[in-house]
């Protein structure tokens, strides 16, 4: 019987970019990014998280990043009352010159 290896070991060299407590960090994405943000804050980092709410797909993340980089975001919150629960949504549009 042969020796079976059920994992692939990968050697990763240290990255060139290092973060420290002087950096401001941004976490965008699902609830996973919220948990990472909380851990960073607990460790004393200056961290921001999901400026326009939780997003779940790369297109939404890209749209938010483009808007943040261009600093041309218009957003408004809409609230609905459904069965005694308030549901809030953010509508965001990005204006760019073509």
List, for residues 26-78, the tens digit of each pLDDT value.
Answer: 899 998 999 999 999 999 999 988 877 888 888 888 877 877 777 655 555 56
Residue range(s) defining the domain that contains residue 62: 24-94
- The number of residues in the chain equals 98
> Residue 10's pLDDT is what?
92
Cross-strand pairs, 93? 74
User: Is 15 part of a structural domain of the chain?
Assistant: no
C-alpha distances in Å from residue 37, one per residue of 14, 15, 25, 43, 63: 22, 21, 9, 10, 20
Tell me if 34 is assigned to some domain: yes
Query: For the chain, what is the domain count?
Result: 1
Q: Is 9 within the bounds of a domain?
A: no
Q: Please tell me the distance from the alpha carbon of residue 80 to that of residue 89, in angstroms, as a whole number.
A: 8
> Looking at the domain assignment, is residue 67 inside a domain?
yes
31 within some domain: yes
pLDDT beyond 60 at 92: no
Rounded CA gap, 22 and 26, in Å? 13
């Amino acid at each position: 019987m042969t020796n079976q290896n059920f994992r692939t070991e990968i050697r990763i060299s240290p990255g060139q970019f290092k973060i420290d407590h002087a950096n401001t960090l941004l976490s965008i994405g699902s609830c996973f990014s919220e948990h990472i943000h909380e851990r960073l804050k607990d460790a004393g980092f200056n961290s921001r998280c999901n400026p326009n709410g939780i997003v779940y797909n790369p297109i939404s993340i890209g749209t938010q990043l483009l808007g943040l980089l261009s600093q041309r975001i218009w957003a408004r919150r809409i609230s609905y009352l459904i069965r005694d629960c308030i549901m809030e949504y953010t509508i965001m549009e990005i204006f760019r010159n073509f």
